[in-house]
Amino acid sequence: MIWPASLLLLAGGALGAFLLRRSWLRRDGSALGMIAGGWVVLLGLLLAAAFLVGPVKGLALGLVMEGIGALAVVWLGRVRRKAARLREMEAAPEPLDEPGRLWRGVLRTLLAGPLGMTAAMAVAFCVTVYLPGDPRTRIVIGGLLMPVLWGLAMTWTLADRRILRATAVLVATSVVGFGLAHLGASA
């Protein structure tokens, strides 16, 4: 019963991802049907697997096999940047492909490292203060959340082309986060 269900879920994941990818390429109102169809296929097969194979095993099998099918669609639709640029003779470079300057790299490193960590710590403190439940659980959740938030802040800072915007957002997040955490802790 597992092998036929696995193959059906694999094909269903590919079909759902294909419909969602096609809807992304169409940027007008006609894409709503494809979006709905893609999600109906993905969620319907997931529910069918949970019903036929079992709630735990079927759900796990459905998530894994649909994910593999969707990754196959993404892999087949990948774009090779250099080959596409040479074929189409694009004039504008990709945002992160342009030549960098040393001072911008140093500034981005300082923003992504210490300032990104400060902003992540502020949000983690806020979550720790305002999350309901046992204080020990809140501290553990805040501690586990901090590196994830720091990674997100670093990724966003390094990908954003506007350094002043990244600086303003990180400073504002730090100030507001620590301020709210202090207000919640003193109340």
Assigned domain for 95 exists:
no
52 token code pair: 């036929």
Contact 75, 18 (CB under 8 A): no
Assigned domain for 85 exists:
no
Among 64-78, 122-136, 140-154, which stretch is predicted with the lowest mean pLDDT?
Answer: 64-78
Instruction: Mention every residue, 6+ apart, whose C-beta is less than 8 A from residue 49.
Output: 5, 9, 58, 59, 61, 62
Q: 38-42, 75-79, 158-162: which has the highest mean pLDDT? A: 38-42
4 token code pair: 């036929």
87 token code pair: 């074929």
Assigned domain for 88 exists:
no
- What secondary structure does DSSP assign to 150-183, as a single string? HHHHHHHHHH-S-HHHHHHHHHHHHHHHHHHHHH
Tens of pLDDT, residues 12-42: 999 999 998 888 877 777 778 888 899 999 9
27 token code pair: 């940027």
Assigned domain for 97 exists:
no
Residue 49 structural domain: 2-76
Assigned domain for 84 exists:
no
Indicate the number of domains in the chain: 2
Cα 142 to Cα 127, 139, 181, distances in angstroms: 6, 5, 12
Among 76-85, 136-145, 172-181, which stretch is predicted with the lowest mean pLDDT?
Answer: 76-85
Contact 42, 94 (CB under 8 A): no
Entry pTM: 0.50
